[in-house]
Amino acid sequence: MEFDGGVGLKPLRVAIRPASLCLALAALLLATVADAASRPRRAAVRPVVVELFTAQGCASCPQANRALAEIAERKGVIALTYSVDYWDYLGWRDTFAMPEFTSRQRAYVGRMKLKEIYTPEAVVGGRREAPAVDQDKVEAMLDADAKTRQASPALAFVSGGSKVAVGAGAVPRGGAEVWLVLYDPVRRDVRVKTGENAGKTVTHVNVVRGLTRLGAWNGRARVYQVPDDPAASTWKAVAILQGRSGGPILAAARN
Q: Using one digit for the tens of pLDDT, what is the confidence trace for 88-104?
A: 998 999 999 999 999 99
User: Domain locations in the chain?
Assistant: 48-254
Please spell the DSSP secondary structure of 127-152, one letter per residue.
Answer: TEEEETT-HHHHHHHHHHHHHH--B-
Q: Residue 44 has what pLDDT?
A: 54
From residue 136, alpha-carbon distances to 44, 74, 139, 145, 226 in Å are 28, 16, 5, 14, 37
Q: pTM for the whole thing? A: 0.82
Pairing of strands 163-166, 176-184: unpaired
Question: Residue ranges of the chain with pLDDT lower than 70?
Answer: 1-45, 149-150, 231
Pairing of strands 201-204, 128-131: unpaired
Level-2 CATH architecture, domain 48-254: 3-Layer(aba) Sandwich (3.40)
Of 84, 111, 81, 93, nearest in space to 205 by CA: 81
Of 82, 87, 85, 88, nearest in space to 68 by CA: 82
- Separation CA 82–CA 181 (nearest Å): 10
pLDDT (tens digit per residue) in 36-80: 444 434 445 679 999 999 999 999 999 999 999 999 999 999 999
